[in-house]
Structure 1
Amino acid sequence: MARYTGPVCRLCRREGQKLFLKGDRCYTDKCSVAKRNFAPGQHGQSRKKLTEYGMQLREKQKVRRFYGISESQMIKYFAMADKMKGITGENLLRILELRLDNVVYRMGFASSRAEARQLVTHGHFLVNGAKVDIPSLLTKVGDVIEVKEKSRNSDKLKELVENHSGNTARWLDVNVEQLKGSIVAEPAREDIDIPVEEHLIVELYSK
């Protein structure tokens, strides 16, 4: 399936909640969900009661859109999560959180996951000292992620450092001044602030 390239605000409206796909804009009055909190399209304002399958599908689509992944990637990650020990739904979210683009976003080096994905693709980051340009790379505890030396003078990254809130996930250790961070633990379910009922996704893929 090709990556969606249309207006991302339509995705938030389709799910009926903010997915924070446009960074800072999502926190302002310009947010489409705040202005038009109904699904896009001709029949968007007619609310229909979802079936059990419909609820499962919506949760799956919500997660895909949060992390910006394709259906084939979602299926691959679910298969990985299903083989791991523990709760499959939580395993799935943990895998998605450990994607390199999400880690860069969680560290505060990008204002959205889409921006993080672009920065990684353009080769601005090192993982354990080696240049990596694969956003889907699954990181692990102990990995060190840092901005490449040649990229540290970019206006965009300087702006991100100046506006960094310092509120990074507790499973990460970030040194904003050095544009560097490390993964100190695997993310627990309570560390993942995504409003999703992952058990519905498990039910969908287990049919």
Structure 2
Amino acid sequence: MARYTGPKSKISRRFGEPIMGPSKALNKKNYPPGVHGRGRRSKKSEYALQLMEKQKVKYIYGILERQFRNLFHRAAIKDGITGENMLKYCEARLDNTVYRLGIAPTRRAARQLVSHKHILVDGEVVNIPSYSLRPGQVISVREKSKSLEAVTESLVSHSSKRYTWLEWQGPDMVGKFVTYPERDQIPENINEQLIVELYSK
């Protein structure tokens, strides 16, 4: 199954941001990983910046190259701004929505919950993390999975984080993907225009 399984703190240090969750290594070593991490030149070419931005989005949402290329193509042929469409499709992924609803503490954990058939979409089990949700679809935790310690602990710790494009009914563990989010509602630090420029070459 397509996913990144390497060290998370290295990725965070490479980009200088906790893109794969909070990392103590980022506080201790605020320079890129590797033997030349400290002495690496800071000025990067235009292409390097564009490529890094694409890699950052892929790591944040857990998407590999072919999936990402297909997703970008969908965004490019849809009406509207290509970069914003791309981020909307990333946010509409089932694993990302499970994470945003607070059912899982990280996107990796959300991916595992989906893969292990703990999540329902419109009452049916869906075990494909990349499943693209449509506005109005209902996401819920399977009845026999509601007592899972990982789920209950995550819901308690994420109770204060809510997003305007999602609805959540805590007691029933049922959420709704109301609409695609607007760009200013997505909190991730992403310059999507660099990715559009990369693919337009």
User: Which category describes the TM-score, using the shorter chain as reference length?
Assistant: over 0.9
Residue 182 of structure 1: SS of its match in structure 2?
Answer: strand
Contact 1:125 1:132 in 2 (8 A): yes
User: Are 2:107 and 1:87 aligned?
Assistant: no
User: Are 2:8 and 1:8 aligned?
Assistant: yes
Match of 1:74 among 68, 71, 79: 68
Aligned partner of 1:62 in structure 2 is 56
User: Are 2:131 and 1:134 aligned?
Assistant: no
Whole-Å Cα distance in 2 between the matches of residues 60 and 164 of structure 1? 28
Q: Deviations over 1:63-83 (max 9, x none)?
A: 001001101111011100000
Given the two structures, how large is their TM-score scaled by the length of structure 2? 0.95
- What is the Cα-based RMSD across aligned positions, in Å? 1.4
Structure 2 unaligned regions, length at least 5: none
Identity of aligned residues (%): 46
Q: Deviations over 1:122-168 (max 9, x none)?
A: 00000000000000000011000000001011122122233232321
Whole-Å Cα distance in 2 between the matches of residues 2 and 92 of structure 1? 19
Aligned partner of 2:200 in structure 1 is 206
Match of 1:144 among 138, 145, 148: 138
Contact 1:161 1:177 in 2 (8 A): no
Aligned partner of 1:157 in structure 2 is 151
Contact 1:171 1:183 in 2 (8 A): yes
Structure 1 unaligned regions, length at least 5: none
User: Are 2:160 and 1:166 aligned?
Assistant: yes
Residue 74 of structure 1: SS of its match in structure 2?
Answer: helix
Contact 2:116 2:127 in 1 (8 A): yes
User: Are 2:24 and 1:31 aligned?
Assistant: yes
When structure 1 is superposed on structure 2, of 121-130 and 156-165 the one drifting more is 156-165
Aligned partner of 2:184 in structure 1 is 190
Contact 2:104 2:154 in 1 (8 A): yes
Structure 1 residue 2 displacement after superposition: 6.1
Given the two structures, how large is their TM-score scaled by the length of structure 1? 0.93
Q: Deviations over 1:38-67 (max 9, x none)?
A: 111011112321000001011001100100
Whole-Å Cα distance in 2 between the matches of residues 94 and 117 of structure 1? 18
